[in-house]
Amino acid sequence: MWPQATNSQAILPCKSFIESLSMNHSNMSSLSKVPEVTLIFWIIKILATTLGETGGDAVSMSMNLGYLLSTVIFAIIFLLAVFAQIKSKQFHPYLYWTTIIATTTVGTTLADFADRSLGIGYTGGSSLLFVLLIASLAIWYRTMGSVSISSIHTPKAEMFYWVTIMFSQTLGTALGDWTADTAGLGYGGGTIIFGILLGLVAVAYYWTSISKTILFWAAFILTRPLGAVVGDFLDKPVAKGGLDLSRYSASAVLLGLIILCIFLFRQKAARQAH
């Protein structure tokens, strides 16, 4: 006669299996090092992109270091921040947003260098950066099978994520300058245009069946030119339609607001597609 298993013996394998699944889920969640996309995410993102504009201009113009040297400085900061972000084991809000700010500042000076120093203009710069951004997304999708935030669990996916963000931030600077200057809409007109476009994306997110991932990246890209025109409005001369505020003071206030938002509103790591 076969010995009968006790209740505890019968339950043990099931318990171990459930615990294993729970641990795997916990490990996957801990590997996500980007935040959930909430209202506060977009508020901080717009503040960060505006800071990228004023901070980039402060170094390249106010400090008179020029676009090339400023780009080199911010590129080094960007690479160090990305390295720290990839090496970290879990989501750290301050580290994540430091890396985002690094992409906006290097994007500002890089776009200005391409548009003004290299002489390709806002239209040429925007077109080139748009192609690079689409290529980055396409290669990311082809390599990893997804460009969703929920799929960023490996160093390779993180590298694609940050390269794509860097291209989107640089494109946003060029596009914001093109809208305000070349298209002649000014900083106020540019703010209205990009604000309306972001509103349309929000409407599409809640009331259409368009891919949430596509809409997320559309909104992510559009916040950069919005930040660019708002940043220019804050620090450009009154004669050019700006408020002529100190770039240092504007940058300090924006940085303070970002830190305050991170401190007051707890952010969680992303767990689902957006």
Q: Could you give the CA distance from residue 227 to residue 262 in angstroms, rounded to a whole number?
A: 19
Q: Which residues contact 265 (CB under 8 A, 6 or more apart)?
A: 40
Highest mean pLDDT among 20-24, 35-39, 195-199, 237-241: 195-199
- Confidence check: pLDDT of 242 > 60: yes
Lowest-pLDDT range, 77-81, 208-212, 270-274?
270-274
Calpha distance 16→39 (Å, rounded): 39
Mean of pLDDT values over 104-127: 88
pLDDT score recorded for residue 120: 86
User: 273 in a domain, yes or no?
Assistant: no
Q: What is the pLDDT of residues 119-153, one digit of tens each?
A: 888 888 888 899 999 999 999 999 999 998 878 88
Predicted pLDDT of residue 272: 52
What is the pLDDT, as a whole number, of residue 153?
A: 83
Task: Count the neighbouring beta carbons within 10 Å of the beta carbon of residue 192.
Answer: 14
Whether 48 shows a pLDDT value over 90: the answer reads: yes
Share of the chain above pLDDT 90, in %: 67
Q: To the nearest whole number, what is the mean pLDDT of the chain?
A: 86
Whether 69 is in a domain gets the answer yes
pLDDT at 254: 97
Q: Are 42 and 221 in contact (CB under 8 A)?
A: no
Long-range contacts of 194-200 (CB under 8 A, 24+ apart): 194/222, 194/225, 194/226, 194/229, 195/226, 197/222, 198/222, 198/223, 198/226
Closest CA to 248 of 60, 64, 70, 62: 62
Calculated CA dihedral for residues 243, 244, 245, 246, nearest 10 degrees: 170
Structural domain contains residue 78: yes
SS3 209: coil
Residue 11 belongs to some domain of the structure: no
Quote the Cα angle for 128-49-232, to 5°.
Answer: 85
**Would you give the DSSP letter of residue 179?**
I
Which pLDDT score is estimated for 251?
96
pLDDT score, position 21: 34
Number of domains in the chain: 1
- Residue 32 in any domain: the answer is no
Of 5-14, 195-204, 208-217, 253-262, minimum mean pLDDT range? 5-14
| pTM of this structure | 0.85
pLDDT of residue 89: 87
How far is residue 83 CA from its own chain's centroid?
16
Residue 210 resides in a domain: yes
Which residues have a Cβ under 8 Å from the Cβ of 10 and sit 6 or more positions away? none
Q: Does residue 14 form part of some domain?
A: no
Name the token pair of 2.
């076969």
Give the mean model confidence (pLDDT) for residues 15-44.
Answer: 63
Q: In this predicted structure, what is the pLDDT of residue 24? A: 42
Q: What is the pLDDT of residue 18?
A: 36
Least confident of 21-30, 39-48, 77-86, 91-100: 21-30
Q: pLDDT tens digit string along 53-88?
A: 999 999 999 999 999 999 999 999 999 999 999 999
Task: Flag whether 28 is in a domain.
Answer: no
Instruction: For residue 104, name the pLDDT band (cuts at 50, 70, 90).
Output: very high
**247 alpha-carbon distance from chain centroid:** 22
Give the integer Cα–Cα distance in Å for 92 and 33: 7
Q: How far is CA 43 from CA 13, 97, 117, 154, 258, in A?
A: 47, 12, 32, 27, 9
pLDDT of res. 135: 95
Domain that holds residue 141: 38-264
